[in-house]
Amino acid sequence: MLFRRTAAALVCLSPAAALAGMPSYYLTDIASLRIQAISFFVVVFLGVTLVVKALWNRLRKDVPTLPRLSFPSALALVFLWGLGFQLVLSMIAGGRELMTPGAWEKQGATYKLRQTELPPEKDLLLEARRQRLEELRVALWAYASQHDRAFPPSDFAPGIPEERWRVLGSSGMHFIYVSGRKADEPQAPLAYEPGIFGSERWVLFTDGDIRKMPLESLHAALGGSTP
């Protein structure tokens, strides 16, 4: 008997690994964030419902013909308002996509403007130089339409604003103008950029065409002399 008690005491006092406890389950980070978002939405929705109910019943004191609004009715009213707002926002988003097709791309649950790469600065500058010559072309053809197809005798003649003759930039230089020509004549250079733009220059021709030409080709088109 004493032996049994001693053995039982030794078993109880000897250390051993204990296997016990209950299983634990955890949500992923994404699921946890979604539950938090849904919980916040539900709390806000119920809070708005209580505010609408209180305001409606407060208004009922001044307008007795209004029915009393219960909490379920207020809940249904807020839900219908939410559906209406969702419909309006969907129509706005759809109209935006129709007016700018392909400009929006899906990113997760929302949409963002599609990132477009701008052309290099060199190409932008080149196009700006051409646009300045295009503005001069419009002014020259408007002048020719009022003077029997004849262009101005010089770039200082009245009829065309002086700023139309200026090239791009702050140099204040004018396009080089070839006088004595008429609109819609056989193709010949009418105006072109000065030497500050290097060996390739934008050239306006008498038929209205605008082309970028190397200096050698421009020299040949002018008959051998290029300022």
Query: Binning pLDDT at 50, 70 and 90, where does residue 186 land?
Result: confident
> Between residues 98 and 199, which one has the greater pLDDT?
199
* 102/53 same-domain check: yes
What pLDDT score was predicted for residue 198? 83
What pLDDT score was predicted for residue 58? 87
pLDDT at 227 over 80: no
Place of tokens 């990132």: 115
Query: Binning pLDDT at 50, 70 and 90, where does residue 12 land?
Result: low
Query: Binning pLDDT at 50, 70 and 90, where does residue 140 land?
Result: very high
* 133/106 same-domain check: no
Buried b or exposed e, range 46-75, using 16+ CB within 10 angstroms = eeebeebbeebeeeeeeeeeeeebeeeebb
Instruction: Supply the pTM of this predicted model.
Output: 0.49
The angle formed by the CA atoms of residues 153, 158 and 160, to the nearest 5 degrees, is 90
Average pLDDT over residues 40-51: 90
> Between residues 129 and 187, which one has the greater pLDDT?
129
* 166/105 same-domain check: no
Q: 3-state SS string over 105-132?
A: EEECCEEEECCCCCCCHHHHHHHHHHHH
What total of structural domains would you count in the chain?
Answer: 2
What pLDDT score was predicted for residue 18? 52
What are the pLDDT digits (tens) for 210-224?
A: 999 998 888 888 875
* 94/175 same-domain check: no
> Between residues 2 and 164, which one has the greater pLDDT?
164
| Residue 137 covered by a domain | yes
* 94/184 same-domain check: no
| Residue 4 covered by a domain | no
Residues in the chain: 227
How far apart (Å, rounded) are the C-alpha atoms in residues 156 and 142? 16
What are the pLDDT digits (tens) for 153-185?
A: 988 888 899 999 999 888 889 999 998 899 988
What pLDDT score was predicted for residue 50? 92
* 144/103 same-domain check: no
Residues 191 and 136 sit within 8 Å (Cβ to Cβ): yes
Q: Roughly what angle, to the nearest 10 degrees, separates helices 29-62 and 71-99?
A: 120
* 98/161 same-domain check: no
Query: Binning pLDDT at 50, 70 and 90, where does residue 197 land?
Result: confident
What pLDDT score was predicted for residue 195? 86
Phi and psi, residue 22, nearest 5°: -110, 150
How far apart (Å, rounded) are the C-alpha atoms in residues 96 and 89? 10
* 198/138 same-domain check: yes
Q: Which of 83, 112, 141 is the last residue of a domain?
A: 112
Structural domain containing residue 105? 33-112
